[in-house]
Amino acid sequence: MKFKGRIFIVLLLFAATWYILHITSSVTRIPIKKSLSSFPGQIAEYHLSNSFQSSADVVKLLGVDDYIDHNFVNPSGVPINFYVGFYSSVGVGGGYHSPKNCLPGGGWGIDTVKTVQLQSGIEGKKTSTVTEMLIRNGDQYQVVLYWYQNRGRVIASEYWEKVYLVLDALTKGRRDGSFVRIMITVKDTDIEGSEHRVQQFAEQAMVELEKFLPGSHL
């Protein structure tokens, strides 16, 4: 009976969330502060090497209003992939796809998922918490960092992102948001070193993104 009661509560919460998102779907679309196409080509010791452009059909499918998919490389030749997708109204024209669902496939699987603290933040905060995944394909590893940089917050969890989305839609009339993902390939099984490098990159990139993405106050 307790188990059935928990299922009922979960279903009720899902129904309530759907209803609230539905009635707030007419909120104002918030434009990006500055186009991501002008994002700096140098982050710490990493410089831009090339960019990936999705087809018009893929962009339409995702419903993203602005995005970049950049490959950076440091003087030692270590590459980092940096993706940012901005949505002026999440859930209306398009929405996020969690790496937990998108990355597995083609032989890749998730080994571990954890949260890590970065020594940088936005809107005056000195630290922030993001999600880190270690993914593996055979003996190949990649470290993935991601977070949601939405309306003045850095959010590590998909679930809390949805909670804040509902609250901000109701109280601020806003559903704009951004998804940020950074990936690095592990060389010579040095997972710890790769984690350190991708976290350093993330700390610099997060500060730069604050110049582009809408904050808590427009």
Going by pLDDT thresholds of 50, 70 and 90, the confidence category of residue 26 is low
Q: Which two tokens stand for residue 179?
A: 């998804």
What mean pLDDT do residues 99-104 have? 73
Q: Which two tokens stand for residue 26?
A: 């007419």
Decide: helix, strand or coil at residue 184: strand
pLDDT tens per residue, range 31-80 = 999 999 999 999 989 999 999 887 777 667 677 899 999 999 999 999 99
Residue 5 scores a pLDDT above 90: no
Question: Please, are residues 130 and 147 in contact by the beta-carbon 8 Å criterion?
Answer: yes
Decide: helix, strand or coil at residue 92: coil
pLDDT tens per residue, range 122-175 = 999 999 999 999 999 988 999 999 999 999 999 999 989 988 988 898 888 888
Alpha helix segments (H runs only) across the chain: 2-23, 56-62, 99-102, 158-171, 191-209
* Number of helices and strands in the chain (H, E): 5, 9
User: pTM score, two decimals?
Assistant: 0.85
Q: Per DSSP, what are the bridge partners of residue 48?
A: 72
